[in-house]
Structure 1
Amino acid sequence: MTTALYVAAYALLSTGGVLLLRTALKDTGNLSVGTARTLLAEPSFLLGFLLYALSFVTWLLALRRYEVVAIFPVFVGVGYACVVLGGYLFLGESLSATRVAGILVIFAGMALLFR
């Protein structure tokens, strides 16, 4: 698997997981045993947990293959950008100019790391 495939798989899995977990947790109050039981019966929570766990496995596979100083910033940067954009597109969360600028700075930093 190439670096790009690891990054793409991680980004899709982790973003999907985070967005589904956020959807499941959005209307919960304080976490309690009752809330946990309800969440464990919620398909969006279970699928979100599974996707996020698979993203962790993808991270471990990439970490085994690449230097941590090279792969970690890419995974975190791309993951952050995807979650921000996914939150905006699918959850109606805000996307300010500051967040867009932050994403651009992250990508500029990644470009500098690989020069």
Structure 2
Amino acid sequence: MAQDWNLSDDELETVMQRLDDAFVYGACDRVVSDIVNELMEEKRVNRLVTVPAVLLEKVMVMAGSEIYRLHAVGSENGGDGDAFVREEREIMRVMRQALDGENG
């Protein structure tokens, strides 16, 4: 059963600790499966990913195009498209600084 999960030694230790807690009330295969699935979800949520710079640049270009599309839509409905674009550009600038590891 556990072979399909490909768990590291540390992850197996975590599962065993959680099983100890679960066995206080009794456990079955479903309990083991639930514990491992919970651990795998925690691992997924906390994972770090790497994106090639060229792909990140493409995403930023697409985001810029989307801002102009939204500007047009916002302007058509009586909104302030220019103010919206300024706000979105500032958000993108802050995001880019964060991705580049800069502070403010």
TM-score by length of 1: 0.32
Pair member with larger Rg? 2
Higher helix share: 1
TM-score by length of 2: 0.34
